[in-house]
């Protein structure tokens, strides 16, 4: 059963096909109005959401399907201690496809290993957010006409910003994409993105704290919110929260065809005055999110009906290792297989498949 847990679960060709389908849905919505008649989507959201949950629900309704689910853990049996694995088994009896958001890294992957229907990762802690990435790729391709030959700046909280991690992983597979990472030194990208994505793919990238200095080189500027909910100390959030505020003045040095993206919600990092700038694409991005999720639901249900055979992930089981990341789903879920992927055999480095934290074997 194929799920979307990590953006690499879909090849570049498959992502191109999703983008093509989304563009066709935008042009011919009535053609798709009954494609999911009789099907149910379950939205299992253990964390707050406006766009992702409601765009999934709108997507399924516009495909003629129905929606069930919960929007907070406290209104589900998770509040009584039910595991993610059991919830996934139960929901497989009620729904044809599941979209899950969870604060713990790797939780949707655990769900996918226990569900008998496709599971879509709608955001797992500070780890990944692959459907936001599909939204971003559709937006970039519609705005710039290409996904190759781009300089993309990421600005803000690159440490906890899961949308950043997934989008960099996706862009690594396109040609001649240069990355500019703009953040305070405390909020730089996690090591698995630096070593497993940027370095291993030989991507050209620079790290800087200077947004204005980077501005003239950028084709795409991806602004992000400082992720208050991931900080252990409120004082650290207060110190860093206004590190970057994009204003009309700062955009004077930008290209005339820059595309400004933001996964939203915005707090203070883009002045509302920028919204009327033709380069501001973040509300168009919101629209695109619904259409690409329609394309994704269609594709996964097509595969689940046995029309297309899914590929399995190939990880090794190493019971004597354990993941030390306290935000990982392995910390709370019972009897979970300790699965790892070997990323650097010579140095004895493995990574937890649930959250990608580094584990040493030597």
Binding stretches for ligand CP (CB under 6 A): 49-52, 123, 132, 263-265
Alpha helices of the chain — where are they, by DSSP H? 12-27, 51-62, 84-91, 107-114, 130-144, 162-171, 191, 211-214, 234-240, 282-304
Q: How far is the CB of 132 from ligand CP (least distance, A)?
A: 5
How far apart (Å, rounded) are the C-alpha atoms in residues 264 and 139? 14
Least separation in angstroms between residue 199's CB and ligand CP is: 27
Give the C-alpha distances (Å, rounded to integers) separating 2 from 5, 51, 304, 305: 9, 24, 7, 11
- Which residues are CB-contacts of 269 (< 8 A; sequence separation ≥ 6)? 155, 156, 223, 224, 225, 226, 244, 245, 246, 262
Closest CA to 14 of 353, 315, 295, 312: 295
Q: Smallest distance from the beta carbon of 327 to ligand CP, in angstroms?
A: 17
Shorter beta-carbon distance to ligand CP: residue 51 or 293: 51
CB nearer to ligand CP: pick between 1 and 58: 58
Q: Identify which of residues 261 and 295 has a Cβ nearer to ligand CP in the complex.
A: 261
Tell me whether residue 160 or residue 340 sits nearer to ligand CP (CB atom).
Answer: 160
Residue among 50 and 361 whose Cβ is closer to ligand CP: 50
CB of 251 to ligand CP, least distance (A): 22
CB–CB of 127/103 below 8 Å? Answer: no
Instruction: Supply 345's token pair.
Output: 């055999």
Closest distance between ligand CP and the C-beta of residue 317, in Å?
A: 32
SS3 318: coil
Q: At its nearest, how many Å lie between ligand CP and the CB of residue 134?
A: 12
Q: Provide φ and ψ at 316, rounded to 5°.
A: -100, 150
Is 51 or 127 the residue whose CB approaches ligand CP more closely? 51
């Amino acid at each position: 059963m194929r799920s979307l847990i990590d953006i690499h679960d879909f090849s570049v060709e498959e992502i191109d096909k999703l983008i093509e389908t989304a563009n066709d849905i935008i042009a011919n919505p009535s053609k798709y109005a009954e494609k999911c008649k009789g099907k149910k989507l379950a939205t299992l959201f253990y964390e707050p959401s406006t766009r992702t949950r409601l765009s999934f629900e709108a997507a399924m309704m516009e495909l003629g399907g129905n929606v069930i689910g919960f929007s907070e853990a406290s209104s589900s049996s998770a509040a009584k201690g039910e595991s993610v694995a059991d919830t996934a088994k139960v929901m497989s009896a009620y729904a044809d496809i599941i979209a899950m958001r969870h604060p713990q890294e790797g939780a949707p992957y655990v769900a996918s290993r226990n569900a008998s229907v496709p599971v879509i990762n709608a955001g797992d802690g500070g780890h990944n957010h692959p459907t936001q990435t599909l939204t971003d790729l559709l937006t970039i391709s519609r705005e710039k006409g290409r996904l190759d030959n781009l300089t993309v700046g990421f600005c803000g909280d690159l440490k906890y910003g899961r949308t950043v991690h997934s989008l960099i992983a996706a862009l690594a597979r396109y040609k001649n994409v240069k990355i500019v990472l703009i953040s305070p030194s405390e909020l730089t990208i996690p090591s698995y993105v630096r070593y497993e994505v940027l370095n291993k793919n030989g991507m050209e990238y620079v790290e800087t704290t200077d947004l204005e200095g980077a501005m003239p080189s950028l084709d795409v500027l991806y602004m992000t919110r400082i992720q208050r909910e991931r900080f252990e100390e409120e004082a650290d959030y207060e110190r860093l929260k206004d590190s970057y505020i994009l204003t009309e003045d700062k955009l004077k040095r930008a290209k005339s065809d820059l595309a400004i993206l933001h996964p939203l919600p915005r707090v203070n990092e883009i002045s509302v005055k920028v919204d009327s700038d033709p380069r501001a694409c973040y509300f168009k991005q919101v629209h695109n999110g619904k259409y690409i999720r329609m394309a994704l639901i269609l594709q996964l249900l097509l595969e689940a009906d046995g029309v297309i055979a899914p590929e399995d992930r190939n990880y090794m089981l190493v019971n004597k290792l354990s993941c030390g990341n306290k935000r990982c789903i392995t910390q709370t879920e019972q009897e979970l297989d300790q699965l790892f992927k070997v990323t650097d055999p010579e140095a004895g480095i493995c990574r937890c498949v649930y959250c990608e934290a580094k584990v040493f074997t030597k």
